[in-house]
Amino acid sequence: MHTIAVICPGDTHDRVAGERKAASRSVIGRKASLKDSGKAPSCYVIGRKASLKDSGKAASRFVIGRKASRKDSDKAPSRYVIGRKASRKDSGKAASRYVIGRKASRKDSGKAASRYVVGRKASRKDSGKAPSRYFICRKASLKDSGKAPSRYVIGRKASRKDPGQASSRYVIGRKASRKDSGQAASRYVIGRKASRKDSGQAASRYVIGRKASHKDSGHASSRYVIGRKASRKDSGKAALRYVIGRKVPRNFIDLKRLGT
């Protein structure tokens, strides 16, 4: 069996590659064999048809415009593959990076699976920390939950599953659901009607003109709530801060003036 002469950039000594691993590098446009598998056999092979055995971390790097096979899965098999149709097995952290305008599959989930995918319709499995970043004006799915699923999503209707600390950040003018509770659930939500679950330290921050519920208690529960009617639970040192125009309870004692 004859060996194949391969000329590589910067190779000044050996012109004949002895190993099969180095024999397939820098070979452009060749047909892939059934044994093409591993880390580096298909590097710098441009425009070839992927075989069934193409799998691994770097098997499909720098392969542009190829049709994805059924075995394309792992962390980074689809990097720098532009405009291809996503297969059913496309999953993982960086499987869909730099794939622009593709239709999302049912398995698209994880932390960064949908980054830089602009204008696609969200699937039912889109959940996690950052699957919906840079998705503007999309309709929220039923599974949108977690810490930051609704960041930079403007004007969407809140779903029933929107709980957590930062689920309503930068969502302007939405109607509050029954599950809105926690520290920062009502931040930057202006003019909404308070629900029965609004309690805690910062539940009523920046919520202007709402009617106080009977659960409003604690140290800073009434901060920046202007013009509300005082409830029976309003007590403590800082409960009266920034609450304008309400009646002071009879049992209020200013401990700071007493020197304690």
Q: Averaged over 165-175, what is the pLDDT? A: 34
More confident residue, 116 or 161: 161
Chain segment 211-242, per-residue pLDDT in tens: 444 444 333 333 333 334 444 444 443 334 33
Residue 47 has what pLDDT? 34
Q: Residues 112, 97: contact at Cβ < 8 Å?
A: yes
Residue partners of 213: CB distance under 8 A and separation at least 6: 194, 195, 196, 198, 199, 231
Distance between CA atoms of residues 97 and 35, nearest Å: 27
Residue 23 has what pLDDT? 33
Q: Averaged over 141-165, what is the pLDDT? A: 36
Percentage of residues in the chain having pLDDT higher than 70: 0
Stated pTM of the model = 0.12
Chain segment 32-53, per-residue pLDDT in tens: 444 443 333 333 333 334 444 4
Q: Averaged over 156-170, what is the pLDDT? A: 37
Q: Residues 45, 64: contact at Cβ < 8 Å?
A: no
Report the chain's mean pLDDT, rounded to a whole number.
Answer: 37
Distance between CA atoms of residues 34 and 84, nearest Å: 22
